């Protein structure tokens, strides 16, 4: 069984940052210029103002992730996407703007070893410490497992291989923004303050699967008991009390905040926005690669982070309206 990892430096179920791939760090990130107004079509959930106890109260925190101390947070009302942004949504953005993602500009992205569809010469290397992550040339949002893969039948799946920078470019086009970490957790809880999961306290497989995670022996074999080996359609399983689909499992979701595992100790009570600076951005919710034996971050309080230019096959995003907070 692999040891528990520390998401303060990126966790094994979320890809290492782009520059950790030894053979693939030869260019600068692309400039981002998006000016065309967009049409954001995702159904919204109106989240009421309120307070919550933010952080892990279940005792399942991963040391080093900064899920404690539990602290009270208050938020004004806001609206948030009921689903993550899909491949179809992102395709409309790209069609309207001609946007090139960072994975496309750099020429590669991070793909989990067992699903990669690439010739040996297109695998640029693996990551130190997490060799199940491969830098695959030609992998991108349109080619999630490598250039020989595509999106047929996956229009309603979450877009992946998008960096924090790419997610913000979409937001600029759509007139939206990424949620703060506090907004994300408040919405994910669905009105169940202090709960471990969006559906309550029952474990993820109790009475049938509640989320898309890794089953089997990580990182070797995924049995796919929940019906999915990689991403699932965004409206799979059941929504939480606020109408959000899959805030945990399926894909990690980028948040607005810089990451600091000591931030909760100094967080303001009202509408915290994270540290003023940092090197990595917060990711929330876990993914189809989280496993109870290794990365149990498919919880309301689970945290991870990665650098803004990094992209991978298990991370996407949802957005919030500009009028909130």
Residue 11 counted as domain residue: yes
Give the pLDDT of residue 323. Answer: 77
Confidence of residue 4 (pLDDT cuts 50, 70, 90): very low
Count CB neighbours of 244 within 10 A. 23
Please spell the DSSP secondary structure of 265-302, one letter per residue. Answer: GT--SBS----S--SSEEEES--TT--TTT----STT-
Residue 174 counted as domain residue: yes
Give the pLDDT of residue 3. Answer: 38
| Residue 188 structural domain | 7-20+45-320
Residue 38 counted as domain residue: no
Residue 294 counted as domain residue: yes
Give the pLDDT of residue 8. Answer: 47
- Provide the CATH number for the domain around residue 210: 3.90.1580.10
Give how many domains the chain has, as a whole number.
Answer: 1
204-209-211-213 Cα dihedral, nearest 10 degrees: 80
d(CA 175, CA 71): 31
pLDDT, tens digit, for every residue of 125-158? 998 889 999 999 999 999 999 999 999 999 999 9
Looking at per-residue pLDDT, the higher value among 313 and 4 belongs to 313
Residue 37 counted as domain residue: no
- Give the residue ranges of DSSP H helices in 16-174: 87-97, 102-106, 164-174
Give the pLDDT of residue 37. Answer: 74
CA distances from 113 to 215, 220, 230 (A): 16, 9, 12
How many alpha carbons fall within 13 Å on the CB side of residue 79? 11
Count CB neighbours of 72 within 10 A. 13
Mean pLDDT across 87-111: 96
Tokens standing for residue 88 = 């179809």
Mean per-residue pLDDT over the chain, rounded:
91
Looking at per-residue pLDDT, the higher value among 46 and 14 belongs to 46
Residue 325 counted as domain residue: no
The neighbouring-strand residues paired with 73 are 52
DSSP 8-state class, residue 185: H
Mean pLDDT across 189-195: 97
Looking at per-residue pLDDT, the higher value among 255 and 20 belongs to 255
pLDDT, tens digit, for every residue of 248-283? 999 999 999 999 999 999 999 999 999 999 999 999
CA distances from 276 to 220, 259, 269, 316 (A): 39, 10, 16, 23
Confidence of residue 62 (pLDDT cuts 50, 70, 90): confident
Residue 34 counted as domain residue: no
Mean pLDDT across 179-208: 97
Residue 31 counted as domain residue: no
**Whether residue 242 has pLDDT greater than 90:** yes
Mean pLDDT across 97-110: 96
């Amino acid at each position: 069984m692999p040891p528990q990892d520390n998401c303060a430096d990126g966790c094994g179920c979320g890809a290492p940052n782009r520059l950790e791939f030894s053979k693939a760090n030869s260019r600068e990130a692309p400039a981002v210029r998006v000016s065309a107004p967009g049409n954001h079509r995702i159904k919204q959930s109106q989240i009421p103002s309120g307070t919550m106890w933010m952080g892990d109260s279940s005792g399942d925190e991963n040391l080093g992730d900064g899920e404690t101390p539990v602290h009270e947070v208050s938020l004004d009302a806001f609206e948030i996407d009921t689903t993550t942004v899909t491949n179809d949504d992102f395709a409309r953005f790209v069609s309207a703007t001609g946007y090139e993602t960072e994975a496309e500009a750099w020429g590669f992205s991070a793909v989990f070893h067992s699903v990669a569809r690439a010739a040996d010469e297109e695998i640029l290397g693996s990551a130190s410490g997490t060799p199940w992550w491969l830098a695959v040339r030609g992998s991108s949002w349109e080619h999630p497992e490598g250039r020989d893969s595509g999106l047929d039948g996956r229009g309603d799946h979450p877009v992946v291989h998008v960096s924090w920078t790419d997610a913000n470019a979409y937001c600029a086009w759509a007139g939206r923004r990424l949620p703060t970490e506090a907004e994300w957790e408040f919405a994910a809880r669905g009105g169940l303050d202090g709960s471990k999961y969006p559906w309550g306290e029952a474990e993820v497989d109790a009475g049938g699967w509640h989320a898309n995670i890794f089953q089997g022996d990580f990182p070797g074999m995924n049995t796919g008991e929940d019906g999915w080996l990689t991403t699932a359609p965004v409206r799979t399983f059941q929504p939480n009390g606020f109408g959000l689909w899959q805030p945990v499992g399926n894909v990690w979701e980028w948040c607005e905040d810089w990451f600091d595992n000591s931030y909760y100790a100094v967080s303001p009570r009202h509408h915290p926005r994270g540290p003023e600076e940092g090197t990595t951005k917060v990711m929330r919710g876990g993914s189809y690669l989280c496993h109870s034996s290794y990365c149990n971050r498919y919880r309301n309080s689970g945290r991870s982070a990665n650098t803004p230019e990094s992209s991978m096959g298990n991370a996407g995003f949802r957005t919030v309206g500009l009028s909130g907070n």
